[in-house]
């Protein structure tokens, strides 16, 4: 196999690995939400334990990218594909960490029986977060820039849900405990940040396809 063929085979393999890494996160988000809604601490612990698999996979992909970069010295779209891969791995891995944080916060809750209002918004946030994550990865896998652009609007909806959630937590906290209100506020923030990372991935996909770097603004 010549250098160029090797490189393209390697790039395809790296892309497959990234999609696999993201699939772990796509599965972990609803698992964490379900654990939250049912108060299932064993299920939460399983999500936490599984994070080591994601970390190892993320490191492995990143090192493969560096090796490919050094061996082939790619240019133009090949270089963009490799740089996109490096940046995406970090975003996906951090989303995985946030799911773990949700589960750890659940384990710290004293009274996991939440009010119907909080449960309702949590469920919507979970669905919105997994929708964002799935959409950004579909945009990457299919090279779909329209899908990548749609992420901003989806994230706005998650931000709105997050604001509703915080208000619901404050209302609930008037009768519940400060301890649990703190954990719930953190949980809301973790979902919101999963959305931010999906938007970042969408920006990387746009760079991959269009060759221009959008100015990052997902946190602003």
Partner 1 sequence: MTLVRRSFQGELDQLRLQVELMGIKVDHNLERLRVVLAVGDEVAAAAALACDDEIDAMNVSLTERCYDLLAREGPVASDLRFIVSVLRILSELERVGDLALRVVKLNPERHLWASNAVTFDILVSMGDTAVDAYRDALRAWSAQDLGLATDLATRVRAMDLHYEHLMAELLRLRGDDAVRIATATLIAGRSLERIADHAAIVGARLRYLLTGDPDHLSAEVR
Q: What is the DSSP string of 105-169?
A: HHHH-S-----HHHHHHHHHHHHHHHHHHHHHHHHHHHT-HHHHHTHHHHHHHHHHHHHHHHHHH
Give the count of residues interacting with partner 1 (CB under 8 A).
Answer: 41
Minimum CB distance to partner 1 smaller for 1 or for 178: 178
Minimum CB distance to partner 1 smaller for 16 or for 179: 179
Are the beta carbons of 195 and 153 closer than 8 angstroms? Answer: no
In which element (H, E) is residue 175 found?
A: none
Distance between CA atoms of residues 105 and 100, nearest Å? 9
Residue 6 makes contact with partner 1 by CB under 8 A: no
Residue 79 makes contact with partner 1 by CB under 8 A: yes
Residue 210 makes contact with partner 1 by CB under 8 A: no
By CB under 8 A, name the one of 27, 62, 157, 164 that touches partner 1: 62
Report the site for partner 1 in 88-107 (rule: CB under 8 A).
90, 93-94, 97
Are the beta carbons of 92 and 28 closer than 8 angstroms? Answer: no
Distance between CA atoms of residues 37 and 70, nearest Å? 47
Let me know the angle formed at the C-alpha of 64 by 25 and 7, rounded to the nearest 5 degrees. Answer: 115
Residue 215 makes contact with partner 1 by CB under 8 A: yes
Nearest approach in angstroms of CB 126 to partner 1 is 20
- If one counts every other C-beta atom within 10 angstroms of the C-beta of residue 156, the result is 12
By CB under 8 A, name the one of 3, 73, 111, 152 that touches partner 1: 73
By CB under 8 A, name the one of 19, 23, 182, 209 that touches partner 1: 182
Residue 166 makes contact with partner 1 by CB under 8 A: yes
By CB under 8 A, name the one of 141, 159, 189, 209 that touches partner 1: 189
Distance between CA atoms of residues 38 and 126, nearest Å? 14
Nearest approach in angstroms of CB 43 to partner 1 is 22
Residues of this chain that interact with partner 1 (CB under 8 A) are 55, 58-59, 62-63, 66, 69-70, 73-76, 79-80, 83, 86-87, 90, 93-94, 97, 166, 169-170, 173-174, 178-179, 181-182, 185-186, 189, 213-220
């Amino acid at each position: 196999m010549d250098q160029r063929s090797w490189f393209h085979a390697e790039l395809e393999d790296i892309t497959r690995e990234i999609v696999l890494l993201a699939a772990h996160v796509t599965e972990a988000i609803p698992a964490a939400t379900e654990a939250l809604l049912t108060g299932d601490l064993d299920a939460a612990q399983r999500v936490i334990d599984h994070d080591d698999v994601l970390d190892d996979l993320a490191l492995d992909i990143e090192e493969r990218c560096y090796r490919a970069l050094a061996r082939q010295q790619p240019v133009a779209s090949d270089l963009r594909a490799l740089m996109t891969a490096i940046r995406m791995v970090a975003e996906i891995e951090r989303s995985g960490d946030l799911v773990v944080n949700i589960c750890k916060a659940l384990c710290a809750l004293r009274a996991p029986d939440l009010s119907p209002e909080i449960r309702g918004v949590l469920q919507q946030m979970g669905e919105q977060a997994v929708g964002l994550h799935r959409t950004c990865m579909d945009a990457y896998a299919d090279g779909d820039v329209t899908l990548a652009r749609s992420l901003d609007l989806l994230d706005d909806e998650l931000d709105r849900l997050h604001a509703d959630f915080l208000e619901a937590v404050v209302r609930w906290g008037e009768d519940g405990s400060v301890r649990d209100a703190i954990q719930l506020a953190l949980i809301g923030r973790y979902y919101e940040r999963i959305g931010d990372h999906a938007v970042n991935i969408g920006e990387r996909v746009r760079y991959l396809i269009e060759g221009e770097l959008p100015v990052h603004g997902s946190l602003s």
